[in-house]
Structure 1
Amino acid sequence: MVTRTRRHTGIALGLVVVLLVGLAVGMLALLQRRLIYFPDSARVPPAGEVIEGALDVTVRTPDGLALGAWYVPAAPASDLGMAVLVAPGNGGNRSGRAELAAELSRRGLAVLLLDYRGYGGNPGSPSEHGLVMDATSAAHFLEDQGYPAARTIYFGESLGTGVVAALQSQRAPAGMVLRSPFTALADVAAHHYPWLPVRILLRDRFEVTSLLSGSAVPVTVIYGDRDSVVPSELSARVADEATTLVERVVIPGADHNDAVMFGPRVADAVARLAKAVS
């Protein structure tokens, strides 16, 4: 009788575990984009109030969205004749990248600070397809300003590295900077949720290394060695596998969103790549 009771208890516990795991998997399948994208939809201030000389501009997408963005002209005294398209990570909005844009402008680079759909007061909801469409539209905007892809550096931050990796496969730039990149989004998800079958369930893939395979675009990879969001070893693998790597910049002690990751050291690396490819 005791053995039978224990057997029934074991079966019941097993069923509870299966139900809980099934519930977690179901929730992940339904709500996964809420675990990927963290848009700050708050209204951003006028560009000129944050960065001297910056302009509020509108990027229009093929599916009819009007996306607010900031355009920062290059400082005339140091103008390199090139632009940087900044594809941000999965959180915040363009105001959080203002220091980086100002630093790049001072180094002679025009900058377009893009906010994706759903971010910074923009309409729409984010998805991998939508973000790549937004970045493609931003590249067209820069071309209209006199900066075709051949005179543009794509700067991808974290999730944005997946965006620019896809964009360069369609529209090759002069160079590309990958800040805190990952090999594929599934690798990051598996690190944070090792008990879930994320590789099967993930809809938005952002396959960085496979998209860069065979690319001839010169690449600089930047990452901190204390990154708690994107494991540093994933960023290192991106650099290891980049066949056109120009420079690897490892910032000691830096976490994913530390101020140093948006400051002069990163801007210097972008400027070095721009000068190397120009």
Structure 2
Amino acid sequence: MQWIKRITLFFLLSYVLLCGLLYFFQERFIFHPRALPADYAFEVGEEMTISTADGVPLNVLAFRQPEAKGAILFLHGNRGSNRRSLRQTEGLVGADYDLYLYDYRGYGKSGGSIVSEEQLFADAQTVYDSLRQYYAEENIILVGYSLGTGMASYLAANNHPQHLILAAPYASITAMKNLWLWMVPDFILKYPLNTRENVARANCPVTVLHGRRDELIPYAMAEEIREAAPDRVELIPLPESGHRGVILDPLFTETVLKAIR
């Protein structure tokens, strides 16, 4: 019976260690920023700096034009920086709406580091509030991709934008965790990022684009998001697209431009 106790103790200690690692190092699992040198210069657009409530500078790349009818705020995925966002949104440059790309803390030329969900949401709200100084809310379109869908949907639930567009969204980070680590308790997560719940409370129409071949976030999560508010959510399946392919699919650009018209 001694060997049974030893095996039980081994698995118990391994479980506790796993939970501890996930709690203390979850930022490393969720966020994969790519920093850019302070002197890095984008060859296009106009760089802006927006300061957070605690004084951290967030780098914003803006594409503005005379007599723009509104603004598009793009919230990117968990990898890269505005340099990658620029490639993903190049089809939106020169549209009737100004385009704003912003880097989260620690990404690109933004300062600081991400430490909580509350901080992520507060930073997104700060950027949104800066746009409201120049654009009416009914002329602001929110576009989120992958990780950014959690923050974009939060803004839609707590403000009154014109439209919310989600590309490759997750129902929640909690649901993503449960795909592989169902044995780990939910309270371990500091970043539940409940997109489904936010969409249910959103104050605008919502369009969801999701690849049928998404190898990271199951297509079923997009269907779950649609069911959160079926009267306001349009789900557009992309039969041939995987996770990264969604944001590069021509239908993504077409959908955003359609929302402008």
Contact 1:72 1:102 in 2 (8 A): no
The one-letter code of the counterpart of 1:68 is: N
The equivalences for 1:80-99 within 5 A come to 81-99=69-87
Hey, what's the Cα distance between the residues in 1 that align with 2:227 and 2:94? Answer: 31
SS of corresponding position for 1:113: strand
Query: Is it true that 1:70 corresponds to 2:64 in the alignment?
Result: no
Task: Pick from 33, 36, 41 the counterpart of residue 30 of structure 2.
Answer: 36
- Does 2:164 correspond to 1:176? yes
> Structure 1: 5+ residue runs without aligned partners?
1-6
d(CA) in 1 for partners of 2:55, 2:231: 36
Report the counterpart of residue 116 of structure 1 in structure 2: 104
2:254 matched to 1:273? no
Counterpart pick for 2:153 among 161, 165, 183: 165
The Cα of 1:211 is off from its aligned counterpart by 2.1
Q: Counterparts of 2:106 and 2:41 in 1: how far apart (Å)?
A: 18
Residues 111-135 of structure 1 show CA distances to partners (whole Å, capped at 9, x for unaligned) of 1001011111311111322221222
Judged with a 3 Å threshold, the aligned counterparts in structure 2 of structure 1 residues 169 and 246 are, in CA distance, closer, same or farther, namely closer
- Asked if 2 retains the 8 angstrom alpha-carbon contact of 1:86 and 1:156, the reply is yes
Q: Does 1:220 align with 2:207?
A: yes
Would you say the 8 A contact 2:197–2:228 is kept in 1?
A: no
1:25 aligns with 2:13: no
> How far apart are 1:238 and its partner, in Å?
0.7
Of stretches 101-110 and 202-211 in structure 1, the one that deviates more from structure 2 is: 101-110
> Alignment partner for residue 156 of structure 1, among 144, 160, 180?
144
The residue number in structure 1 matching 2:188 is 201
Q: Note the alpha carbon deviations across 1:184-243, whole angstroms, 9 max, x for none.
A: 11001111323423x131111111122222433111101111112222111221123234
| Structure 2 runs not aligned, ≥5 long | none
**Which residue, 15, 29, 33 being the options, matches 2:9?**
15
Amino acid at match of 1:14: T
Q: 1: CA distance between counterparts of 2:135 and 2:103?
A: 19
Equivalent residue for 1:46, pick from 41, 46, 51 = 41
Q: Which moved more, 1:111-120 or 1:229-238?
A: 229-238
Distance 1:245 1:270 in 2: 16
Task: Give the Cα separation in 2 of the matches to 1:245 and 1:162.
Answer: 18
Backbone CA RMSD of aligned residues: 2.0
Larger radius of gyration: 1
Would you say the 8 A contact 1:183–1:207 is kept in 2?
Answer: yes
What TM-score do you get using the length of structure 2 for normalisation?
Answer: 0.91
CA contact (8 A) 1:216 1:244 kept: no
- Between the aligned partners of 1:165 and 1:13, the Cα distance in structure 2 is 45
Q: How many residues align?
A: 259
1:46-70 CA distances to partner (integer Å, 9 max, x unpaired)? 23x1x4xx11111121221111110
Against the structure 1 CA distance between its residues 214 and 115, is the aligned structure 2 distance closer, same or farther, given a 3 Å change threshold? Answer: closer
Deviation at 1:156, TM superposition (A): 1.1
Using the aligned pairs only, state the percent identity. Answer: 26
What TM-score, normalized by structure 1, do the two folds share? 0.86
SS at match of 1:257: helix
**Which residue of the partner structure matches residue 198 of structure 2?**
211
CA contact (8 A) 1:87 1:113 kept: yes
